[in-house]
Amino acid sequence: MLRLNRSPDRLAKSSEPHLQVQGVTYCYGNTAALTDINLTLYPGERVALIGPSGAGKSTLLKLLNGTLTPTTGTVSVLGVPLADPNPRRRRALQQQIGTVYQQFHLVENLRVIHNVNAGQLGRWPWYQALWSLVWPQGIETARQALARVGLPDKLYSRTDRLSGGEQQRVAIARILVQDPAILLADEPISNLDPARSHEVMTLLTHCGQGKTLIMSLHALEFAQTYCERLVGLREGKIFFDGLVTAITPQQITQLYRLEP
């Protein structure tokens, strides 16, 4: 495994890490999807996760937001282990992590406002959350978020009637409302045309300002344009990890080569 200059020194000194992965292995049944992953992300970093299909990118992101629990090793968020047995504390931690998916995962039968509000549900008491379905709450916040993603007039549209690009922007508006410290994105642009892709990437990196952003990408040029650090995954292991400027084209070719 190649190990190039580790995370940028300026950030390493400035503060505590936002995300820390220590010795994590994850197995689906008997097959290991990830083995012995170590990764540290500092506030404000923009990291692209690249690698061939099946390398384990989605699995890593799922470990980072707590969907999956590591088979061995720990994932810590803001210095706290994510695998907290107390559901309340774990939920409070998860509110600091926002995730954008390739398939958006919006609730299509609900109107846009409710999907955007989904970002702040974690902060509302349950009765307010229920009442909001009848009488939408937090309209101003939702409106501003939609305005920022360029959909100011879609507040009450039906989600299933939006185009793919619009739905992706609603998903981003949801994250804006959630306002997490860490932003994860799993192939956020693979369903969009190049122009929309640039829009979405700009949005993500913009709203990610001051936040830690880690996204899996297949489009290398986007990774190099919008991120400053590249993490290459291959067969469940970290293949390289370093600044965009430091990764050589040979390394990239090696990462994607077909035979082992």
Partner 1 sequence: MSVQTVPRSFLLNPLLLLLGVGLFLILSRVEQPWFNPDGWPLLAQFLSASLQPDLSAELLMITVDATLVTLAYAVCGTFLSVLLGLVGGLGSSAIWWELVLPGQKGIWLVLRGLLAIPRGIHEIIWGIFFVNLWGLDPLVAVVAIALPFGAITAKVFSEILDETPRQPLLTLIQSGVSPFVAVVYGLLPQAFLNLLSYGFYRFECSLRSAAVLGIIGAGGLGYQILLSLQSLRYNQLWTFFYALLLLNGTVDLLSALLRRRLGCTPRIALPQGKLRSVRPQGPVLLVVSLGLGLLVPFCFWYIHPDVSKLWAPHTGELLAQLGQSAFPPELTMTTLQQLLPLALQTLGMSVLAILVAGVGGVLLSFPAASNFRRFLGMDAPWGWLFLLGVRGVLLLFRTIPAPIWALVFLFVLFPGILPGALALGIHNLGILGRLMAEGIENLDQRPLQALPGASPLVVFSYGVLPATLPGALAYTLYRWEVCMRETVLVGLVGAGGLGRLLSEQLSSFDYRGMTATLSVLILLTFLVDVLSTQVRNQLRYGINTRKSGIIKGGS
Ligand X SMILES: Nc1ncnc2c1ncn2[C@@H]1O[C@H](COP(=O)(O)OP(=O)(O)OP(=O)(O)O)[C@@H](O)[C@H]1O
Q: Determine, following the binding rule CB under 5 A, whether residue 58 of this chain makes contact with Mg ion.
A: yes
**Quick check: 106 and 171 in contact, CB under 8 A?**
yes
Give the residue carrying structure tokens 């980072």. 64
**Quick check: 39 and 242 in contact, CB under 8 A?**
no
Binding footprint of ligand X, residue count (CB under 6 A): 10
Produce one character per residue of 44-62: b if its CB has 16 or more CB atoms within 10 Å, e if not.
bbbbbbbbbeebbbbbbbb
Q: What gap in Å lies between CA 204 and CA 146, rounded to an integer? A: 14
Q: Determine, following the binding rule CB under 6 A, whether residue 28 of this chain makes contact with ligand X.
A: yes
Q: Which of 11, 34, 118, 142 binds partner 1 (CB under 8 A)?
A: 118
How far are the Cα atoms of 117, 208, 228 from residue 199, in angstroms, in the given order? 22, 14, 18
Q: Which of 37, 48, 56, 247 binds ligand X (CB under 6 A)?
A: 56
Q: Which of 20, 59, 65, 212 binds partner 1 (CB under 8 A)?
A: 65
**Quick check: 215 and 200 in contact, CB under 8 A?**
no
**Quick check: 214 and 41 in contact, CB under 8 A?**
yes
Q: Determine, following the binding rule CB under 6 A, whether residue 58 of this chain makes contact with ligand X.
A: yes
Q: Which of 33, 170, 192, 238 binds ligand X (CB under 6 A)?
A: 33
Q: Determine, following the binding rule CB under 6 A, whether residue 55 of this chain makes contact with ligand X.
A: yes
Tokens of 67: 């969907």
Closest CB to partner 1 among residues 69, 248: 69
Closest CB to partner 1 among residues 182, 189: 182
Tokens of 199: 């829009």
Closest CB to Mg ion among residues 44, 52: 52
Q: Kindly list the residues in this chain that would bind partner 1 in the complex (CB under 8 A).
A: 65-67, 90-99, 101, 103, 105-110, 114, 118-119, 121-122, 124, 126, 129-130, 133, 160, 178, 180
Q: Kindly list the residues in this chain that would bind ligand X in the complex (CB under 6 A).
A: 28, 33, 51, 53-59
